Structure 1
Amino acid sequence: MAAASLDQSWSFRFSLLMASILAISCKSSAAFQPSVWQLAHATFYGDETASETMGGACGYGNLFATGYGTETVALSSTLFNNGYACGTCYQIKCFQSQWCYGSVPYITVTATNLCPPNWSQDSNAGGWCNPPRTHFDMSKPAFMKVADWKAGIIPVMYRRVPCQRAGGLQFSFQGNGYWLLVYVMNVGGAGDIAQMWVKGSKTDWISMSHNWGASYQAFAALGGQSLSFRLISYSTRETIIAWDVAPANWNVGLTYKANVNFH
């Protein structure tokens, strides 16, 4: 009986321990939550084709090919955060303007570009993206879903929201066998990345430095090795590992996919 009681006591304690570990794990990987609505202003750039939005300060290239499409936005530097806001998502709605379309409550856009300051113009008369202003310069197709483009500039309400992405992370390779530059795309959850590491099949984890936009670099001889990546979200600090993303015969100019993503 004593042994049975001891076994039952140990089983109960073990169950409590496992429950605690599970709770901590769930807390550390909690899904990104929407922020509160805030007031800002929005303009647009380019035309109805959104051709001028291609490329951009985040380095996503052709936004149609990389899955972002036309529902994108350039952020003022106050929001852009030196590129760490690349890939973040926002809901934007026209607010108390005669130009608002009442049929569309809001549009969800992804940050793919920077709206730079224009110090030659007043912040309230043309220099819309001058710090410390919070401003959204939307693609014209996105702007036209919430307001008449003839308005030029509109007051908006916005909030940060989780990014809904399908298909997992995408890693676009540039550089060479001794310098690997990686653009990270299709990031779900908070949409952002704070830190990144690469691991070759013959190396330990190598820290990658932030280059610009959504790109990270490693100065290491990684040619001929399969590559894995470890990433940390800027906003939630959630960590994920994407194992064996690229095969040993990887090459620059190609994009590799991993069936993992942030929550």
Structure 2
Amino acid sequence: MSPNQTLSRPSLLSLLLLLLLLLSLLSLCAAHYDPPPSSFATSGWFPARATYYASGDPRDSVGGACGYGDLEKAGYGKATVGLSTTLFERGQICGACFELRCVDDLRNCIPGTSIIVTATNFCAPNFGFTADGGGHCNPPNKHFVLPIEAFEKIALWKAGNMAVQYRRIKCRKDGGIRFAIDGSGGFMSVLISNVAGAGDVTAVKVKGSLTGWLPMSRSWGQNWILNADLKHQPLSFELTTSDGATLTSYNVAPKNWEFGQTFEGKQFE
């Protein structure tokens, strides 16, 4: 066909059909596109080791170094973990979530399995042993201590001190963030639990109806304290987590709140 000739009607129709086919294919691809996961989920896997403690161990009822109290009543169940010094970060990591899987032990690992656990406790070092000779939680070891119920989801109990891989992931929790208020007079202590998203809270502010926003200080774990008398005022809270996300829950506690009560606020997505 010469440059001066025009396309015939059948040729135009063929081009239109081809164009429609290409558009439909692009639409189909877009419909099945999954957005990239969070920055936690895209982080790589890192080597560590894990042991377990027996069912009925007292640490389930006392809650350990993060201050959550009875882990069953607090909603964490057996999906919990104690961390060695290197991982614990002096308690700031409390509430963070990890995914663990068993590796390198073909006899004792359960293939294709992993568990998701929340950091609720601290595994203290034992400097009577070397880090590679019994001091499992001594620096610089990265060590996880699991309830046996969680351990047996990824490995046989006889694996003992086993090699694992771990990665930090976003927490998913049922219900809102919980604020357990304690103290007396002009002293207030608030235990913060059931936090989704990053999970580990790095800053807290509280506001009464007669005050501005007052920064709280970390006491230990996820217990936050303030010297102020906020009785007879509805309380609002602002939380910031380790990924920089901030969430404000207004009027979490009503005007007639009392020490010893627990209230529920909004939740991170």
Shorter-chain TM-score tier? 0.7 to 0.9
* Partners of 1:262 and 1:82 in 2: CA distance: 24
* Partners of 2:213 and 2:59 in 1: CA distance: 38
By how many angstroms is 1:32 displaced?
A: 5.2
By how many angstroms is 1:77 displaced?
A: 1.5
* Partners of 2:167 and 2:127 in 1: CA distance: 27
Q: Which runs of 5+ in 1 are unaligned?
A: 1-29
* Partners of 1:133 and 1:33 in 2: CA distance: 22
Q: How does 1:115-134 map to 2 (within 5 A)?
A: 115-134=123-142
Q: How does 1:95-174 map to 2 (within 5 A)?
A: 95-97=103-105, 98-102=107-111, 105-174=113-182
* Partners of 2:52 and 2:192 in 1: CA distance: 26
Other structure's SS at 2:86 match: helix
1:80 aligns to 2:91 (yes or no): no
Question: Partner residue of 1:246?
Answer: 253
Question: Partner residue of 1:26?
Answer: none
Other structure's SS at 2:65 match: coil
TM-score (ref. length: structure 2): 0.82
Other structure's SS at 1:70 match: coil
* Partners of 2:133 and 2:79 in 1: CA distance: 26
Question: Partner residue of 1:216?
Answer: 224
The letter for the 2-side match of 1:245 is V
The letter for the 2-side match of 1:246 is A
TM-score (ref. length: structure 1): 0.84
Residue-pair matches, total = 230
* Partners of 1:122 and 1:32 in 2: CA distance: 35
Q: How does 1:181-220 map to 2 (within 5 A)?
A: 181-220=189-228
Report runs of 4+ in structure 1 exceeding 2 Å deviation: 30-33, 48-54
Instruction: Give the direction of change, closer, same or farther, for the CA distance of 1:113–1:189 in structure 2 (3 Å limit).
Output: same
By how many angstroms is 1:68 displaced?
A: 0.3
Question: Partner residue of 2:244?
Answer: 237
* Partners of 1:168 and 1:31 in 2: CA distance: 21
Q: Contact 1:32–1:190 (CA<8 Å) still a contact in 2?
A: no
Q: Contact 1:32–1:189 (CA<8 Å) still a contact in 2?
A: no
The letter for the 2-side match of 1:63 is L
* Partners of 2:171 and 2:255 in 1: CA distance: 31
Q: Contact 2:101–2:114 (CA<8 Å) still a contact in 1?
A: yes
By how many angstroms is 1:50 displaced?
A: 5.0
Q: Identity over aligned residues, as a percent?
A: 43
* Partners of 1:179 and 1:32 in 2: CA distance: 38
* Partners of 2:40 and 2:100 in 1: CA distance: 16
Question: Partner residue of 2:30?
Answer: none
Find the partner of 1:225 among 223, 233, 244. 233
Q: Which runs of 5+ in 2 are unaligned?
A: 1-36
Q: Contact 2:131–2:140 (CA<8 Å) still a contact in 1?
A: no
* Partners of 1:114 and 1:223 in 2: CA distance: 34
Larger Rg computed on CA atoms: 2
Q: Contact 1:31–1:189 (CA<8 Å) still a contact in 2?
A: no
Instruction: Give the direction of change, closer, same or farther, for the CA distance of 1:156–1:31 in structure 2 (3 Å limit).
Output: closer
Q: Contact 2:190–2:223 (CA<8 Å) still a contact in 1?
A: yes
By how many angstroms is 1:219 displaced?
A: 0.4
